[in-house]
Amino acid sequence: MTTTTADFLATVPLFGGLDREELDRFAELTREKSYPRGSVILFEHDPGDSLFVVRSGRVKVVLVGEDGREVILGVLGVGEHFGELSLIDDRPRSAHVIAMDDADLLVLRREDFRKRVESSPAVAWSLLSELSRRLRQADEKIGGLVLLDVPGRIARLLLDLAEEAGSATIDKVLTHQTIAQMIGASRETVSRAMKEFQDANWITVEHRRITLADRAALEQRAQARL
C-alpha cells in the first residue's frame, strides 16, 4: 500500500520534485478516505487541519451565497489537491468542497506535513511553487471576470482546462450548469455560447467531452474587448 501511494504522490505536482525516500515518508503519513457523490467533504469555516489529494473521482470547490446560489471556484480531478492554505496560516476553510463523483482522497494532517516541510527544503520549495501557480491562476481568473464578456470567459476557461489536461480534449466532464457556475453566468447564456462555438467549428463535443478544434479562434475570442 505504501509503495502504491508513493508512486501516486510522485504524479502530484506538489510532491513531484521529491526523491523516492521523501515520497515514501509522505506515503506513510497519509490515510485514504472515501466520499460518495454529492457528499460535503469540507464546510466553509471548518478548521483547516489537513491537506487533501484527489486519488479518484472529482470534487468541486464552491462558495454558497445567502440566497443559496452556488459559485464554483474550481473542479479538481485526480492528482489535484486542496487545503494547502490552511496548512500555512491555520485559518478556517475558505470554501465548501463537495464530491462530484464517488471520490477517494488521500489526507495528510497539518502537523505531519509541517514536520516534513521543516526537515526538507525540497518540500518547502514545492509548496511555494504550487502556491505561486495558484495565485497566478487566481489573478488571471479575476482579470477574465472583469474584462471579458460571457463567451470570452467560456473561451478562456476552455483554453485553461485544455492546458491543464495537456491535450486538446478536456479531461474533466463539465455540464453547461457547471461552466455557468464557474464563470458567473446563467446556464442559458452558456448553452447559447457553446452552440455558437460548435457551429463555428471551434469546439467539438462528444459524450460531454469537449475538444478544442480551433485553438487560435478561441484565443482571439478570449481577448478582452474594451
- The model's confidence at residue 166, banded by pLDDT at 50, 70 and 90, is confident
Return all residues near 71 (Cβ < 8 A) that are at least 6 apart: 62, 63, 64, 65, 181, 184
Residue with cell 483554453: 159
Question: Which pLDDT value is given to residue 123?
Answer: 76
CATH number, position 68: 2.60.120.10
Using one digit for the tens of pLDDT, what is the confidence trace for 45-68?
888 788 999 999 999 999 887 777
- Mark whether 26 and 119 lie in a shared domain: yes
- Mark whether 128 and 21 lie in a shared domain: yes
- Mark whether 176 and 194 lie in a shared domain: yes
Residue 200 has pLDDT above 90, yes or no: yes
Is residue 101 in a domain?
Answer: yes
- Mark whether 123 and 158 lie in a shared domain: no
Q: Are 24 and 4 in contact (CB under 8 A)?
A: no
The pTM for the full model equals: 0.73
The helix or strand, by DSSP H or E, that contains position 27, with its residue range, turns out to be helix 20-29
- The model's confidence at residue 225, banded by pLDDT at 50, 70 and 90, is low
CATH number, position 169: 1.10.10.10
All cell numbers assigned to 175: 455540464
Q: Single out the residue in 122, 140, 158 at which a domain terminates.
A: 140
- Mark whether 109 and 153 lie in a shared domain: no
- Mark whether 161 and 93 lie in a shared domain: no
Kindly write down the DSSP assignment for every residue of 149-197, as one continuous string: -HHHHHHHHHHHHHHHHTSSB-SS---HHHHHHHHT--HHHHHHHHHHH
Is residue 17 in a domain?
Answer: yes
Q: Count of domains in the chain?
A: 2
Question: Which pLDDT value is given to residue 145?
Answer: 66
Closest by CA position to 97, among listed 176, 179, 38: 38
Mean pLDDT is highest, among 2-16, 119-133, 157-171, for 157-171
Question: Which pLDDT value is given to residue 89?
Answer: 74
The helix or strand, by DSSP H or E, that contains position 1, with its residue range, turns out to be none
In three-state form (DSSP H/G/I as H, E/B as E, the rest C), the secondary structure along 95-150 is CEEEECCCEEEEEEEHHHHHHHHHHCHHHHHHHHHHHHHHHHHHHHHHHHHHHCCH
Is residue 80 in a domain?
Answer: yes
The CA radius of gyration of the chain, in Å to the nearest whole number, is: 19
- Mark whether 100 and 206 lie in a shared domain: no
- Mark whether 64 and 131 lie in a shared domain: yes
Let me know if 33 is exposed, middle or buried by CB neighbors in 10 A (0-12, 13-18, 19+): middle
Residue 71 has pLDDT above 80, yes or no: yes
- Mark whether 112 and 199 lie in a shared domain: no
Is residue 226 in a domain?
Answer: no
Question: Which pLDDT value is given to residue 2?
Answer: 52
- Mark whether 211 and 186 lie in a shared domain: yes
Q: Which domain holds residue 65?
A: 2-140
